[in-house]
Chains A and B, each alone.
Chain A
Amino acid sequence: MRSPALSPLQFEWTLGAFAATLAAHMLWMPPWYALLLATLVIARWVQRRRFARAWPAWIKFPMLLAVLAVVLFEYGDFTDRRAGTAALAGFVTLKLIESERRRDGLMMLTVCLFLISVQFLFNQGILISMYMAVPTLLVFLALNEVSAPPGTRGGLISRLGAVTRELVPLLAITLPLTIFLFLSVPRMSEPLWGSPNGTSEARTGLSDEMSPGSITELLADDTPVMRVTFEGAVPANSQLYWRGPVLWNFDNLVWRSARTLQRQRQVLNGPQTGAPGDLKYQVMLEPTDRNWLFLLDLPTGFPADARRLADGQVVRSQPVLSHYVYSAASDLGASVPTGPRPQDDVIEGLQRRHDANRRTESMAKSWVAETGADREALVLRALNYFRNESFSYSLAPPPLVSADRVDEFLFDTRSGFCEHYASSFVILMRSAGVPARVVTGYQGGDFNRVGGYLVVRNSNAHAWAEVLIDGRGWVRVDPTAAVSPERVELGSASSTSSAWIDTGFMRSLRDRFDALQAWWNRAMVQFDWAQQRDFFGDLGLDPSDWRQIGAWMAGGLGVIAALTAAWFFRSSHRAVAPGERAWRRYLARMRKLGVLRGPSEGALDFGHRASAQLPQWSEMIIGISRAYADLRYAPPDSAAQARLEQSVSQFIEQSSASKGNT
């Protein structure tokens, strides 16, 4: 049998639910692809209002090719999760333009539920999560409307008043059931297949290279990187250097880490708890798709699956793909020790291209000639140079175009930000024979008074330098602070243009929202295998014993089923046909009077027999039989029930009164 046609109403519900689903995906889609799909949906809506017909193949087929072409052009292939989802969204849009029958509608709505879940691969923020309840609700309302047989309405909207009594319990049971399942469904410690990350380019964040402009992008990005709760007071802003990748190699354009070398030279394996006097804190890191953990210098405490490399950076064995919480400790006063072979640090810390930046080199040489090889004196000399010459801090400096970029910056433009200062300072030091390196990471953070934590954002990205001082190890030097001390003392905001957001009401609003987001991340997004173990542990269950977990699940579902059944049986009082109660009362009375109704005796036959046996009530008995027969078999009459009930009451009253007399 052919599936019935979608009524205009059913079609518009389907379209509405899909549009609400698609809207969430448009946030991450390339804008023009989103525009293409939105146009198709609107065009289909307008067309279906005029005539209910699917689009002809000569339109559909080129549209299909267009969707495939756009996805291929944008992503290269379909293996990436973005490409796959974009293609799926495109196919469902094309399904919409040919949806004319109920089965099309039902299929689309089910795929919408799939798309709703897939959305969380891209964004698990609290706002979008709350929003996703909207398409979910719309899908179910649409299912209600589309699955209604022809000529009837689904009722959840059109007859809401009439069906509310059915719906309230539905939701009252659904929500606890969902939450129970959410908490209890066993999480996997590691994925059975694949890995959810498609491309790391998807995430903005610190990279393991520093090329011109790479940090500027981050400085404009207010996305949180991590939230840090300190045990005790928050250290001064000038001590908050969150250590990221250490960069050694400079090719006059890009700074790179010496990654493979550093991996082999790890020196400290986790877990580490740090010394008693160290600063203790807990970090909730947003997903970065990198395996770096950000800790304050010098990291002394970190979790078991992490280790500290020779250059002081702490890395994890796996990339941070979802929210990751770790406890950390740092010794704020300490400098970074050299690697296991200090001579390697010296060699790598001095390498530079000798064919470039001659003016820098000659200035460094002249300083060495004046102050000697005392490294600390050379560092001070360089910092004084930045401080005393006409250097300025600017996020939009004049571009550096020559082959000798350091020369150009130090002697010509003299305007830039951390990336320029750290880079030129390190080259200056290396030219002077002082081993130096660039350290990238984050500096500072905003304290959230509502949540009591420090939030570090991408806009806190920073680059600074470290020089190797004999007897002390690698010592941090921040040349940017020499030029723009407030950048380091007050935090990034004071030197960027978003200062207005940090004042008064806006600030408190932002703090509140961030605290909410942090709570969401902690409670919901990063509830994983380990957290679930703790949850089961808190309940007194042994998480490794599957029988206990199975019993817990069965018990919980049993309780929910029992509550459901309780509601179910209480509210469906065994109702009877109209007038039946009165009729039964009458029969009971007759039984007492000694007249039993035969199992297959009709009401009228019984009436005749009874009136023969009880002639004094004959008239009433016949009347009642008539009334009952009328009510049951005559065309519906609203007064019939009242008539029967009244005559039964009368009969019972009179018959018992007379019985009392005799």
Chain B
Amino acid sequence: MAKSDANLTATAHLPRVGLGERAWRALDRRLPSITRRHRNEVLPIKLDRKRIYIVPSGFGLFFAVMMFAVLAGALNYNNNGALLFGLLPVSLGLISMLQTFRNLDQLSLVQVSADPIFAGESVHLEWHLHADDGRARSGISLKYGAEHRHHDIEAGQTAVVRIALPARTRGWLVPESVRASTVWPFGLFFAWSYLHSNVRVLVYPHPESPKVAFPRTPDHTRSGGADPGDDDLRNLRQYVPGDPTRMIAWKASARTGDLLVRELEMPRASEMVFDFQQISGLDTEARLSRLTRWVIEADHAGMSYALKMPDATIGPASGGGHRLRCLTALATHALART
């Protein structure tokens, strides 16, 4: 079942240019670069002659027709000057085919990166193209969907191509293949290659908005969000880098001259437990959305919390690592394994 699904997605990517399904499948098998079948490759991906395709551009065809007319006329009239100055552009044009190819050859995609984001935001994908063979590259175009970016890459340097795309749903966002192409130096030939790395970006569920109050936990003694009095010096400690600024006790700090932060009492009994099962009356996505909001808020407040999912419980704990684990669990909850 899973296998046929994969097949389905593969053909869904195929461009439709009037060829029959079977012809496309055959092409897909024989010339995977054309049909973008190179999938999920391990970085770095290096372009080489097995995957770079090159054809005359539309302008190249026009150029060819024009030069054919020049050569035919020059030969017919036995005009050597015209012939020489017809053959010179033809030779230059032919050799430029190699240059076009070399402009892509040995270029590598060394990294694809993106910061994790929440559904509904834009993911800023970055493709790092590296020219590591000591040659500079000119006019390298990267196409993602309908987006085009163009870059020159100096020898040994890395160009970072940024494209923002909307992330609509939570889960793994698998970037489509990008097409690297060039027409350098004269626009007569078009060389391209499809790059499809195995990089995927995790999209966290959209945090519910507006904010909903934290759930009441059974053994909950005091409100977690209660503001401890500034004067209560027992709850203050020295600031250490990494403490949230909102936890700084400004008044006490001003009095003592040291930067002090409020230390929350975190008895186990007062830990927050965000339980997937406990939220009623909502569908799965809405529950995930609410849990996400809670995790963000709790982390923001520097609280300790636990996330109880149907298949696992994370925490209780606090801090960035815990937040990441919780959000990852929420993002990947009940996703079909791919």
Residue ranges of A at the interface with B (Cβ–Cβ < 8 Å): 103, 106-107, 110-111, 113-114, 116-121, 124, 129, 132, 136, 139-140, 143-144, 146-156, 159, 162-163, 165-166, 170, 173-175, 177-178, 181-182, 185, 187-188, 191-194, 196, 322, 524-529, 564, 568, 572-578, 632-633, 635-636
Task: Given A106-B187, A117-B70, A166-B135, decide whether A181 and B99 contact each other with a Cβ distance below 8 A.
Answer: no
- With CB as the reference atom, state the residue of chain B lying closest to A578: B132
The answer to whether A143 and B186 have CB atoms under 8 Å apart is yes
Cα separation A63 to B250 with both chains bound (whole Å): 79
Is B80 an interface residue when CB atoms closer than 8 A count as contact?
A: yes
Over the window 173-205 of chain B, the binary record of Cβ atoms lying under 8 Å from chain A Cβ atoms (1 yes, 0 no) is 000000000011111100000000000000000
Contacting pair B80 A575 (CB below 8 A): no
Instruction: Tell me the bound Cα distance from A17 to B108 in angstroms.
Output: 36
How far apart are A175's CB and chain B's nearest CB, in angstroms? 8
8 Å CB contact of A120 from B81, B113, B154, B187: B81
Q: List 26 A-B contacts (CB under 8 A).
A: A121-B77, A121-B82, A124-B79, A136-B89, A140-B89, A140-B92, A143-B187, A149-B141, A149-B150, A152-B152, A154-B185, A162-B136, A162-B155, A165-B135, A166-B99, A170-B98, A181-B90, A182-B87, A191-B76, A194-B77, A196-B79, A322-B78, A322-B79, A575-B133, A577-B108, A577-B132
Q: B133 and A150: CB pair below 8 A?
A: no
Query: Do residues A147 and B75 form an inter-chain contact, with CB atoms below 8 A?
Result: no
B78 — nearest CB in chain A belongs to which residue? Answer: A528
Residue B287 at the chain A interface, CB threshold 8 Å: no
* Docked-complex contact A572 and B111, CB < 8 angstroms: no
**With a CB–CB cut-off of 8 A, which chain B residues contact A144?**
184-186
The CA-CA distance from A117 to B141 in the complex, in Å, is 34
Name the one of A120, A178, A573, A636 contacting B79, with C-beta atoms under 8 angstroms.
Answer: A120
Q: Which chain B residues border A132 with CB–CB below 8 Å? A: 81, 85
Q: What 0/1 pattern do residues 61 to 95 of B give for CB contact below 8 A with A?
A: 01100110111011111111111111111111011
What residues of chain A lie closer than 8 Å to B89, measured between beta carbons?
A: 113, 136, 139-140
Select from chain A the residue with minimum beta-carbon distance to B156. Answer: A578
Give bound CA distance, A531 to B285, whole Å.
85
Q: Are A178 and B84 in contact (CB under 8 A)?
A: yes
Task: Check if B106 sits within 8 Å of A572, measured CB to CB.
Answer: yes
| CB within 8 Å: A-B pair count | 203
Shortest A416–chain B CB gap in Å is: 41
Smallest Cβ distance from A95 to chain B, in angstroms?
A: 14
**Which B residues between 136 and 160 are near A, CB-CB below 8 angstroms?**
136, 138-141, 148, 150-152, 154-155, 158
Q: Which residues of B contact A525 (CB under 8 A)?
A: 80-81
**In this assembly, does B206 line the interface, its C-beta being within 8 Å of a C-beta of chain A?**
no
Q: B92 and A162: CB pair below 8 A?
A: no
**Quick one: which of B44, B92, B150 contacts A174, CB cutoff 8 A?**
B92
- CB contacts (< 8 Å) of A150 on chain B: these are 150
Nearest A residue to B72, CB-CB: A192
Check: B105 CB closer than 8 A to any chain A CB: yes
7 further A-B pairs in the complex, CB-CB below 8 A; given A129-B84, A578-B130 = A114-B66, A149-B141, A181-B87, A182-B84, A191-B78, A576-B46, A632-B44
Cβ of B128 within 8 Å of any chain A Cβ, yes or no, is yes
Residues of chain A within 8 A (CB-CB) of B133 are 572-573, 575
A107 in contact with B187 (CB, 8 Å): no
